[in-house]
Each structure stands twice: as structure tokens, then as C-alpha cells.
Amino acid sequence: MNSEFNALQQECLSCQKCGLCETRTHVVFGVGNPQSEVMLIGEGPGENEDLQGEPFVGRSGQLMDKMLEVVDLSRKKNLYIANMVKCRPPKNRDPLPEEVSCCIGYLNRQIEIIQPKIIVCLGRIAACSLIDPNFKVTKQHGQFILKNGIWMTGVYHPAALLRNPRNKPDALDDFIKLKEKILEVCNHTY
């Protein structure tokens, strides 16, 4: 499993499938424990992530790590974190549909190898791609649906919480619901 995962990472690190390879500093493949039962999936790297080669290391990542800590989840221990696209879209624009379709194969293979029990989509771009194209974060955040044997949920993107702090209590509730789901369906996360 690890050698397959490492081979996938190596392949991804030299990817030139779309134009984002021309402006990236680092490919941001993912971070965390590939044996995790829970995967978090964001949109794409921002400036700090592009510079450091790791997802969610900027301000929004720090907020997310704090909320995760409340429910005993951490990228150092029991989570794997990746993005829809592995290279930073210029000026943090939304990734274009063709960039997502070039990159989705890497994410699909990460999911196949890790075989998570739960996937948490951080924000609209991940939730609309992976759960339902009409997903509305404001209405459906925190709801779980079983899709292809994996429990899927969409939550507020932490960057959206920095812009709209009044949604933080709802976001924290969603992480508490996540903990309950983990206790129900996972074996070794806690």
C-alpha cells in the first residue's frame, strides 16, 4: 500500500497535465496518515501551501486545525488531507473545470488506496464535485450521505469562516457530528 501511494505521489510531483504546472512552486499532493479512516478534501493550494508544499498551512488551515483538535483529529495522527487540484490556481481563483478533470485521477487514486470510511468535503468546490453538483453548503452542511460505500459530508470551507465568523458555531457542530459518525462507523480513528 505504501509503495503504491509513494509511486502515485512521485508521479503527481512531476505532473504537467494542465497549465497550473507552469505557475506552481510546489505540487501539494496531500498530508497526513494514509492509513486514516477519515479524509478531508479541500479545493486547491493557496499561496502558503504552494510555497510549503503542504495543504492548509495558512490562516484557514490554522483555524481548521483548531476545530479538528476539539474532536481529537489531527493530520499528524488520524487524518489524511488533500485537495481537488494539487497546484495553486493563480491569485487563488477557483480551479477551472478542465483543471479539476485533469487532476481528479490523482484524488481518485488516493481515495482508492486509502479506502476511507468518511470523506469530509471542505467547501463548495469539493462538495459539488464529490457529493452532488447542486450541493448548497449553507443548507446541507453537516449532513451525511453514503456514496459508493463511503460516508460523505460537506462543511464550510475554513476560509469562508474567516470571512464570515458568524458561521463558526455551525461549523463546530458539524465537526462534533463528524466525531459521532466516526464513533459509529470507524474502527481505529480514536
Binding site for ligand URA (CB under 6 A): 42-46, 49, 55-56, 60-61, 83, 122, 159
Question: Closer to ligand URA at the Cβ: 122 or 161?
Answer: 122
CB of 104 to ligand URA, least distance (A): 15
- In whole angstroms, how far apart are CA 18 and each of 15, 41, 97, 154, 163? 8, 20, 11, 27, 30
* Beta carbon nearer to ligand URA, 21 or 185: 21
Q: How far is the CB of 126 from ligand URA (least distance, A)?
A: 8
By C-beta, is 5 or 56 nearer to ligand URA? Answer: 56
Residue 61 or 154 having the CB closest to ligand URA: 61
Judged by DSSP in three states, 114 sits in: helix
Count of Cβ atoms closer than 10 Å to residue 79 Cβ: 20
> Closest separation between CB of residue 87 and ligand URA, Å?
11
For the CB of residue 188, give the shortest distance to ligand URA in the complex, in Å. 26
The Cβ-side half-sphere exposure at 50, using a 13 Å CA radius, reads 18
In degrees and rounded to multiples of 5, residue 108 shows phi and psi of -60, -40
DSSP 77-106: TT-EEEESSSSPPGGGPPPPHHHHHHHHHH
Q: CA-CA distance, 8 to 169, in Å (whole number)?
A: 37
Q: Which is nearer to ligand URA, 138 or 180 (CB)?
A: 138
* Closest CB to ligand URA: residue number: 42
Q: How far is the CB of 81 from ligand URA (least distance, A)?
A: 8
- Please tell me the distance from the alpha carbon of residue 184 to that of residue 5, in angstroms, as a whole number: 27
